């Protein structure tokens, strides 16, 4: 069942409910029925796959994001880059040129939309790293897992409810990791607040907020920045929170979602579009490539979604990529004892209603509670780079877990739960912001799944190679 774009595809029009309340009930019913049709096969939560001394890597999609990942991965000990695939040969070749260490025999796969399958079929690849556009993620990840590969998948992992389920069932069936590459889970302030949460610093968590607010409107119309205008197409076809995981991932870790807690239901509201269609119209006057968009309704600029969790903590998420305003990846934690907020930078913490902690108190808190992974690799990660170091910390940690046979920090249930907010928000927006149930991808096992800790008690022995 594809909930993505249901209203747009006429699915709802075809069975128009007599009232909006009825629509919500019908859809909730369908979600629950779909949930029932899946049976657990194997619990991937906390699963440790056999250790791999060398992680043999293949990349699919090496445009802006993927080529930077090739460069970062080549700095990690125990990585062998075996294949680089991009439909555009010049991108694959350029990405290969970004490898800075020895021991890689990266074959190029290019020139054909399906050639990535050939790379996935190789026996000598352990991990497929996917950084193509959203619509391709699930199909590629499923194929790779079915061919015996672990998968690291850019955000969001899937764009439909059905594909979220397919990812879960394939990972369970194959016992292959399906890791969502949510780099914000490794940002310094997010890791500090996670550690503080585990120490009980915030008390009970009442409410969290997250956002992806980034004015990238111009890039939608720049083919060099987005292959085949993929982001323009997404924003023209779908109205919801299309990019929920930057804000949601770190917050779900704090709330132990899928491990003792779960997301219950959500509601979503979109502003009108005040700039996307206007921009397409303006460009379409002189550029034929945008003519098709001049009369198309586009995604509302701002999407605001609210989520209820089983623990009773609430989450607010925002998404706006087309308004001229300062960048924000809001990360806000409000507990019974303390409060934290990042964006604007720097991140701030308060323990009462008077004011935020001063510089000296913040430094003391950081020196006492900086998590082990940051102490171990944080400074090196900053020097390698990638959003200030968090991208490298994420990649290093993934390889270190695979090399040491440790459970991964972000498993397939996280990938599905965080990504499904996209299609569910579309449905809610299209239906007067009515609430919709969030599928339980753990199929009930969230109650018994152990809380996951990002610590270095085992592992942490993967070195970083000098550039």
Ligand X SMILES: NC(=O)c1ccc[n+]([C@@H]2O[C@H](COP(=O)([O-])OP(=O)(O)OC[C@H]3O[C@@H](n4cnc5c(N)ncnc54)[C@H](O)[C@@H]3O)[C@@H](O)[C@H]2O)c1
Contacts with ligand X, residue ranges (CB under 6 A): 60-66, 85-88, 91, 113, 116, 131-134, 136, 154-155, 181, 183, 226-227, 230, 387
Q: How far is the CB of 147 from ligand X (least distance, A)?
A: 16
Residue 170 or 183: which CB sits closer to ligand X? 183
Q: How far is the CB of 242 from ligand X (least distance, A)?
A: 9
Residue 64 or 275: which CB sits closer to ligand X? 64
Q: How far is the CB of 76 from ligand X (least distance, A)?
A: 18
Residue 69 or 429: which CB sits closer to ligand X? 69
Residue 183 or 431: which CB sits closer to ligand X? 183
CB 357 within 8 A of CB 365: yes
Q: How far is the CB of 37 from ligand X (least distance, A)?
A: 28
The Cα–Cα gap between 412 and 182 comes to 12
Helices 390-404, 372-384: axis angle to 10 degrees equals 120
Return the H-helix or E-strand segment holding 149. none
Summary count for the chain: helices (H), strands (E): 17, 14
Strand order through the sheet with 55-60: 107-110, 79-86, 55-60, 127-130, 150-153, 178-180
Compute the C-alpha angle 374/408/449, nearest 5°: 110
Q: How far is the CB of 156 from ligand X (least distance, A)?
A: 7
Please state the φ and ψ torsions of residue 28, each to the nearest 5 degrees: -55, -45
Measured from each CB, the residue nearest to ligand X is: 63
Residue 245 or 449: which CB sits closer to ligand X? 245
Q: How far is the CB of 134 from ligand X (least distance, A)?
A: 5
The Cα–Cα gap between 367 and 270 comes to 41
* Residue among 70, 127, 79 at smallest CA distance from 103: 79
Residue 132 or 193: which CB sits closer to ligand X? 132
The Cα–Cα gap between 147 and 344 comes to 44
């Amino acid at each position: 069942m594809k909930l993505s774009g249901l209203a747009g595809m006429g699915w709802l029009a075809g069975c128009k409910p007599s009232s909006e309340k009825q629509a919500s009930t019908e859809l909730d019913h369908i979600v629950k029925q779909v949930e029932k049709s899946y049976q657990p096969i194997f619990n991937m939560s906390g699963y440790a796959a056999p250790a791999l001394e060398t992680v043999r890597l293949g990349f699919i999609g090496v445009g802006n994001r993927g080529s930077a990942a090739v460069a970062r991965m080549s700095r990690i000990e125990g990585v062998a880059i075996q294949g680089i695939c991009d439909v555009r040969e010049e991108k694959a070749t350029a990405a290969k040129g970004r490898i800075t260490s020895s021991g890689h025999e990266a074959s190029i796969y290019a020139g054909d939309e399906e050639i990535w399958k050939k790379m996935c079929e190789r026996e000598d690849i352990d991990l497929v790293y996917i950084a193509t556009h959203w619509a391709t993620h699930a199909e590629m990840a499923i194929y790779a897992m079915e061919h015996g590969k672990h998968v690291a998948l850019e955000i969001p992992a899937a764009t439909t409810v059905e594909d979220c389920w397919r990812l879960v069932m394939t990972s369970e069936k194959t016992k292959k990791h399906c890791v969502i590459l949510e780099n914000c889970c490794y940002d310094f302030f997010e890791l500090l607040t996670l550690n503080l949460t585990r120490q009980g610093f915030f008390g009970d968590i009442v409410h969290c907020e997250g956002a992806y607010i980034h004015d990238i409107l111009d890039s939608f119309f720049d083919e060099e920045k987005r292959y085949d205008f993929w982001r323009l197409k997404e924003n023209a076809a779908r109205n919801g929170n299309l990019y929920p995981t930057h804000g949601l991932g770190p917050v779900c870790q704090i709330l132990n979602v899928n491990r003792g807690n779960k997301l219950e239901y959500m509601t979503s509201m979109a502003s009108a579009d005040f700039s996307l269609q206007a921009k397409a119209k303006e460009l379409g006057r002189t550029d034929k490539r945008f003519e098709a968009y001049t009369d198309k309704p586009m995604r509302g600029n701002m999407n605001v979604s609210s989520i209820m969790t089983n623990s009773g903590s609430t989450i607010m998420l925002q998404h706006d990529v087309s308004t001229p305003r300062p960048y924000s990846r809001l990360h806000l934690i409000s507990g019974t004892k303390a409060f934290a907020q990042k964006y604007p930078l720097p991140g701030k913490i308060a323990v009462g209603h008077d004011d935020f902690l001063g510089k000296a108190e913040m430094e003391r808190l950081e020196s006492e509670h900086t998590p082990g992974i940051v102490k171990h690799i944080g400074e090196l990660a900053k020097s390698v780079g990638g959003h200030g170091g968090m991208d490298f910390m994420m990649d290093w940690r993934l390889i270190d877990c695979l090399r040491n046979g440790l459970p991964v920090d972000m498993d397939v249930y996280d990938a599905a739960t965080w990504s499904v907010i996209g299609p569910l928000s579309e449905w809610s927006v299209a239906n007067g912001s009515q609430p919709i149930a969030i599928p339980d991808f753990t199929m009930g096992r969230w109650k018994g799944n152990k809380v996951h800790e990002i610590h270095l008690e085992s592992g942490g022995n993967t070195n970083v190679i000098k550039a």
